[in-house]
Amino acid sequence: MTLRIAKGVPDLLKYLEDNGVELSLSTIYRLIRKQEIPFKRINTQTLLFDLNKIDRWIVGDDE
């Protein structure tokens, strides 16, 4: 499986919109704060999102 990454919330937001998932910026930040969406923090300002995990999260299989 190819590693697909979104770097930062704006890239994630665009990916979600392109795939028919409409979430606001504030909702995404809330999900991050509550750790309800899969992400990795690589430093204090950079978040990475594994899009394979995001795809599973969208359909509710985020294990």
Q: What is the pLDDT of residues 2-42, one digit of tens each?
A: 889 999 999 999 999 999 999 999 999 999 999 999 999 99
Predicted pLDDT of residue 63: 57
**Nearest C-alpha neighbor of 6 from the set 36, 63, 46, 58:** 46
The helix (run of H) or strand (run of E) holding residue 50 is: strand 47-50
Of the two residues 54 and 44, the one the predictor is more confident about is 54
Tell me whether residue 18 is exposed, middle or buried, using C-beta atoms within 10 angstroms of its C-beta: 0 to 12, 13 to 18, 19 or more.
Answer: exposed
User: What is the identity of the amino acid at 62?
Assistant: D
Tokens of 53: 């995990």
